[in-house]
Structure 1
Amino acid sequence: MTTPTAPHVPETRSAFRDPAFLRLWAGTTASGLATWALPFVLGLAVLDRSLTPVALGLLLAARTAGFLTAVPISGVVADRCSRRTVVLWSGLAAALALPVIALGLGWSVPVTAAAAAVAGAGQGACRPAFQALTAEVVAEGHRQQANAAMTVAVRVSTLVAPGATALLAVLVDVPVLLLGIGGLWLVAALLPPAGTATAPEAGPRTSFTADFVNGLREARRHPWFLAGLGALTAVIATGYSATGVLLPVISRDRYGGEAVLAAATTAYIVGALLGAVVVARWRPRARGWAALAGLGCYAFAPLSLLVPVHPAVVVGAYVVAGLGIELFNVPWFTAIQREVEPGTLARVSALDFLFSYGLAPLGLALVAPAAELVGAPAVLLTCTLVCALAPAIAALAPTSRTFSRSGVKPAAG
């Protein structure tokens, strides 16, 4: 397994003053922006009739399938070899897929869908590798600040990028925008620095399944991780899905237009930015409980849609939900990088992404039929209860108070 040597950033030096971290930050930001931009630009392709709504659904499904397939594979590969190499090849794969998507629009849906699957695989493969590479590049004392900085960059991008992309769409056509996304993936592939992990020690090569099981075994050693992952998965599969599907409908039918939808979406990003700024330096004693309380704040989002209220209440609820989610995300990623045995870090991070985001499409697919069957209020009430209770239950798990197993010797890699 890869074994980290001394961290790249000295403990007394800010991460922002280290060129290696700035390169990692820029590469991670580019990958996050490219990940966000693809479905948005494909939506623009529907508007200019170079892509049908059915084909759009197929491309997004293929992208998701590629992501879910690549995440566990990448976790194992990134622990077997250089995390930097995994970032390079995953970014290059996604970059090469984008010109194929651009060429395939209006010509061949199967070719475009296959390229979308490759792009999704590149996205999925880089996520656990970036997480593990952060632990190599950034010293432990600065990782929370570093994770917050990456979050701020991604949130600012998603706040500014829709307007910028829509403006660019007036000047250039969709294929050119897709090539621009490919350029972002090239940045994500080429810019990050090398990590500090040494090559794996010589020895018998275990199977992929055995390595993946070892990652599961390492995850089981951390009760806080299993409990937190369960809570995060529940919140994303219910709260994210319900508000994502029902907020546009409620904005249209209850408030007479798209204004509440746009305001709530923007408020969520603004809240997340505030949360990232706060958590960059906030170090509560019970950091795990504080993070889980932040995750539970997402319950305010579906709760605000449950009954007719003033639009300002909905906007305020989404600010709180966004703030809370970053009060969870940043300590969560930092705890994984700190507590998990370095040789299995990418695999455990892969489990995080696989379960938390892997079940989101299932939630999205079930919300609309459930709302038609039992009504939107019942669905929103259920999601509110799940978002509030799942983190509270996770807080009861051993070691969840601090997201740490202090004093327990890590298992061998």
Structure 2
Amino acid sequence: MLRDAAFLRLWAGTVASGLATWALPFVLGLAVLEGSLTAAGLGLVLAVRTAGFLAAVPVAGVLADRYSRRAVVAWAGGAAALASPVLALGLGGSAAVTAAAAAVVGMGQGACRPAFQALTREVVDEPRRQQANAAMTLAVRVTTLLGPGVAALLATVAGTAVLVVGTGALWLAAALLPPRGAAAPTPPHRRDPFHTEFLDGLREARRHPWFLAGLGALAAVITTGYSATGVLLPEASGRHYGTEAVLAAALTGYTAGALAGALLMARWRPRAQGWTALAGLACYGFAPLSLLAPVHPAAVVAAYVLAGVGVELFNVPWFTAAQREIDPGRLARVSSLDFLLSYGLAPVGLALIAPAADLVGAPAVLAACAAVCFLAPAAAALVPGSRDFSRTPPAPRPRE
């Protein structure tokens, strides 16, 4: 795949945007340690960035179906690139400037996501899309694994403001590197109002019951399992084991598992792709399950490795199926619905998990979250089309 110049440019641009998205919270965390940003200021910056992301996703979905997906990526990445130095200048100074710049960065991030999904369909032919999606997620996982050490090392020779500007350089690369798609959508002669076009994307999503079921399962797992482990894993690491080493090992194991899952999906074509993907998604339930009671630390790490593998068993076929099955002229709008729900519900879960644990106890919350992670994908697997993530039954394979 990386020998294809067009895909290599798309891959590099996608990876640059993913690295910039991941790096900013970590760098701002270093700014708190450095004293140029308070903990409250960090919370505000991350909150407004998320708000900008959620506001931009549906708008970008409509725009990317109206116009060139390549142009939407360029404008979105360019806006985030320009806002990053402003954010750096605001550190230690104006909180309002910092927050406003963070909102623009979040909007650039949100606008890129559905456009990149649709652009992948234009650049990569159908037989190679699963491999292409696996290559993209593999690169993001590698940067997630190595990024903290690299950022911490760079922080010893450059201030956090310089590193924030560096994320702007990554956004500039994301804006400039991707190629023009081979089959950009043809704009209609008459433009419908924005809300009408967005609702048209919702109607397209409803045409694919497997998509709505899978999206519901994904949102349930993120809201419960992902949120529970994010909030309660640090507490369980200290309470059960008296050390943060289990926390670090579990998170590293999760990323390593995701790497293994992406490598697997680059080559493996399961016969029932949808059911395999949903089974992989259900594996996230082992993560909260491992925190219910003190067990050997290796069991916790193994649960997180399994969760990481399962996430990529779901992600790669999920993106590939959407690019194959959804009407090309509505793909960005449907993708925006995917990102809007999955990312939009995550903060809700993060906000509710800690109060729920205080009310009924962490074990009860973890047990409930594990049950949701197992049951939601199982329910989605019962929906027509979920076996192969397709409305069309697969052709029977010839007898050997």
Match of 1:148 among 123, 134, 144: 134
Task: Measure the CA separation in 2 of the matches of 1:238 and 1:77.
Answer: 32
Task: Measure the CA separation in 2 of the matches of 1:234 and 1:46.
Answer: 32
Match of 2:244 among 246, 258, 261: 258
Q: 1:301-346 CA deviation, whole Å, 9 max, x = no partner?
A: 0000011001000000000000000000000000000000000000
CA contact (8 A) 1:82 1:197 kept: no
* Runs of 4+ in structure 1 over 3 Å off: none
- Give the unaligned 5+ runs of structure 1: 1-14, 409-413
* Post-superposition offset of 1:199: 5.5
Q: Indicate the larger mover: 172-181 or 200-209.
A: 200-209
Match of 1:79 among 65, 68, 75: 65
CA contact (8 A) 2:65 2:185 kept: no
* Post-superposition offset of 1:251: 1.0
1:222 maps to which residue? 208
TM score, norm. by length of structure 1 = 0.94
Task: Measure the CA separation in 1 of the matches of 2:378 and 2:105.
Answer: 37
Q: 1:123-160 CA deviation, whole Å, 9 max, x = no partner?
A: 00000000000000000000000000001000000000
Please tell me whether residue 180 in structure 1 is matched to residue 166 in structure 2. yes
Task: Measure the CA separation in 2 of the matches of 1:196 and 1:101.
Answer: 36
1:8 maps to which residue? none
Amino acid corresponding to residue 73 of structure 2 in structure 1: V
* Post-superposition offset of 1:197: 2.3
CA contact (8 A) 2:45 2:99 kept: yes
* Post-superposition offset of 1:200: 2.3
Please tell me whether residue 121 in structure 1 is matched to residue 107 in structure 2. yes
* Post-superposition offset of 1:16: 2.5
Q: 1:84 to 1:254 in 2, by over 3 A?
A: same
Residue identity over aligned pairs, in percent, reads 72
Alignment of 1:265-344 (within 5 A): 265-344=251-330
Task: Measure the CA separation in 2 of the matches of 1:92 and 1:213.
Answer: 28
* Post-superposition offset of 1:253: 2.0
Task: Measure the CA separation in 2 of the matches of 1:323 and 1:265.
Answer: 13
CA contact (8 A) 2:250 2:301 kept: yes
Q: 1:239 to 1:89 in 2, by over 3 A?
A: same
* Post-superposition offset of 1:406: 1.5
Q: 1:201 to 1:75 in 2, by over 3 A?
A: closer
Task: Measure the CA separation in 2 of the matches of 1:373 and 1:234.
Answer: 21
- Give the unaligned 5+ runs of structure 2: 395-400
Please tell me whether residue 235 in structure 1 is matched to residue 221 in structure 2. yes
1:245 maps to which residue? 231
Task: Measure the CA separation in 1 of the matches of 2:302 and 2:185.
Answer: 50
Task: Measure the CA separation in 1 of the matches of 2:76 and 2:156.
Answer: 31
1:208 maps to which residue? 194
Q: 1:207-260 CA deviation, whole Å, 9 max, x = no partner?
A: 100100000000000000000000000000000000000001111222112101
Q: 1:360-409 CA deviation, whole Å, 9 max, x = no partner?
A: 0000000111111110000000000000000000000010011001279x
Q: 1:253 to 1:92 in 2, by over 3 A?
A: same
Number of matched pairs: 394
Q: 1:355 to 1:118 in 2, by over 3 A?
A: same
